[in-house]
Amino acid sequence: MASPDVLARAITLRQEIERHNYAYYVLDQPTIPDAEYDRLFRELQALEADHPELLTPDSPTQRVGGKPLDGFAPVRHAAPMLSIRTETDTEASGALAFDARVRRELGLDESDPPIEYAAELKFDGLAINLRYEHGVLVQAATRGDGETGEDVTRNIRTVHAIPLRLNSESPPAVLEVRGEVFMRRDDFERYNERQRAVGKPTLVNPRNGAAGSLRQLDPRLAAQRPLSFFAYGLGEVRGWAQPVSHSATLDALAALGAPVCAERIIGSGAAALIAFHDDIAARRDSLPFDIDGVVYKVNRYEQQRELGFLTREPRWAVAHKYPAQEQLTTLLGIDIQVGRTGALTPVARLAPVFVGGVTVTNATLHNQDEIDRKDVRVGDTVIVRRAGDVIPEVVAVVAEKRPNPAPPRFNLLETYPVCPECGSHVVRLEGESAARCTGGLYCPAQRKQALLHFAGRRAMDIEGLGDKLVDQLVERGLVHTPADVYGLTLETLSGLERMAGKSAANLLAAIETSKATTLARFIFALGIRNVGETTAKDLARHFGSLDRLVAATETDLLAVCDVGPIVAQSIMQFFGEPHNLEVVAKLRAAGVHWPESTGLQQSAGILAGKTLVLTGSLPTLTRDAAKEKIEAAGGKVAGSVSKKTDYVVAGEEAGSKLAKARELGVPILDETGLLALLVSNNDAEQHTLDF
């Protein structure tokens, strides 16, 4: 039986793969590189192979992936459009492994003749099923999830390369032609030039251009996109004497008028596959369209039938992918981008280079550690790769082409001691790879993130101040720091999109209500790095006032429960930044206030040193309210019961935590007992109950 950890990992992988399937197949917005998706898929396959009991009918390994869009009628495929296995080994061993596997499954030994294979290109477009009845195109559907696709017939009819009628005097009763819709590189460039000339949006790359064109609800818009098509297989066939091999079928389709790519061969054994793979790799950049690999298929259908299928893929075919495309260029400089969380990311400014289907002028260098590891210097000749055909990155330096004398090493903290966006200090904490701006409340790059965090439910709890409104406030220059929120007026808010008078009035009321808060909430709302909700409560309880926290030394901070050196550094750096103190002062001047106390430095609290666990629903107190009362009295609320637990507070529908408390002999309280305990801790046993 699989362990709980293995089961949890399998569930996580399924959810993540399905999420990426939806982004890639349905939205045409891939979220991760293909190589990372393949790695996740192989990991799930391996788990299910090692633990067959984990295999479920809804696992992504049992289907192709993706769902049809609501905007198009669903089409049930007469024959499933299955995907094929992928070989990621970029060397000859990929072809050798496939050939060895085929021979083994056919029961052949060294004395038997080599297998006859068909080898062709793996196009980077969108898979389509074209259904011809008596020679006339009647329907076109996308792959979808392999079983059900989307009806895109009207848009397919605008693709001139696809025949509306087959070239035959006696066409088959039914012939489903399967292939790839794609956009040629020259068509892609010409289309983007026209778009730029009239100030309209351009396409990101040919693949997204092809997929997006077929998903236009208006076929007139699809007709404006120059698309091409290559056939590579069949779906349902009725009333046609199908040839005996895959290559002969492609020849027959070409004779019927279906476009078939000329870049294909018939060859014997692994040697022919290796030669084809190497030949195409050498000519890949000069091809008129994008490909991401080659495909090997057992040519004769008789052997294909003998090999059969796995649930998701045929045993007689494999896709042999190429590595991400790489090119050489010159590193002209290193710029810095400040992210929403304050992280400073070094970006390589490059001499323009065409790689992965687009012209690249910038590429990520990730962080200082990566720059040091690769020894990247301005003026170097570097290898640029579009990782997963999405994110350009500098892979390595060509050391022998380095200028003489060698350029100096790049040091981010020396070059950018202060944030280029706001002038606040830049620091790099121990154990972190990223350098960060300390001007969290002031930095323009962090403005939206800081405002959303400040207004969050567990922070200042300003209901109605969400993403879209924050976007408008920041982009129109109405709010620069959280303090500016308290200066908003009804007139200003009413002038924003989707903000009628009532909505504006409700938001102003929420802003006014938020002025009365707690010290813990205010500390958390400031967004100090490494200071979460629990740590904010510990700081508020320990110091009792904001002024004492601001003036705290590292020694003072380390005396707080669960505060270590890194958290202490983060707090001191935040309050050591004049910009942040200025915003805090403006917030207090705007009327934001909270009750203060002497703190645990002077008053330990009635539950100091005690650990309580909450379980079930209490009659009048919410879980958060009970937690706040316990913490205000100096106690700590834990999530699980152990021998170190002092009390378990149990309400209705208490579960396993209550059973664990009984097992360990931990005192159990109801809500009345908790409230009594908060008044007097002289005799805790008198509040315990026998459940």
HEC readout, 226-292: CCEEEEEEEEEEECCCCCCEHHHHHHHHHHCCCCCCCCCEEEEHHHHHHHHHHHHHHHHHHCCCCEE
Q: Supply φ then ψ for residue 251, to 5 degrees.
A: -60, -40
Which of 513, 344, 565 is CA-nearest to residue 443?
344
Question: Is 122 part of the annotated catalytic residue set?
Answer: yes
How many Cβ atoms from other residues are within 10 Å of residue 442's Cβ?
26
Helical H segments across 22-157, by residue range: 34-50, 93-105, 153-156
Angle CA(84)–CA(86)–CA(87) in degrees, nearest 5?
A: 145
Q: Is 342 left (phi over 0), alpha (psi -120 to 50) or beta?
A: left
Q: Are 165 and 136 within 8 A, CB to CB? A: yes
- Please tell me which residue in 122, 537, 636, 657 is annotated as part of the active site: 122
Say which residues have a Cβ less than 8 Å from residue 624's Cβ, sequence separation at least 6: none
Check: CB of residue 608 under 8 Å from CB of residue 600: yes
Residues 508 and 505: their CA atoms lie apart, in Å, by 5
Nearest CA to 187 among 303, 40, 288?
288
> Which two structure tokens, joined as six digits, stand for 491?
């007139």
Sheet strand arrangement including 636-638: 636-638, 611-615, 647-650, 668-669
| Amino acid in position 101 | R
Tokens at residue 231, please? 């056939």
Provide the terminal-to-terminal Cα distance of the chain, rounded to the nearest Å: 36
DSSP string across 303-337: HHHHH-B-SSSBTTEEEEEPPPPEEEEEEEEEEEE
Cα distances from 526 to residues 64, 94, 263, 423, 452, in angstroms, run 46, 54, 61, 19, 11
Catalytically active residues, by annotation? 122
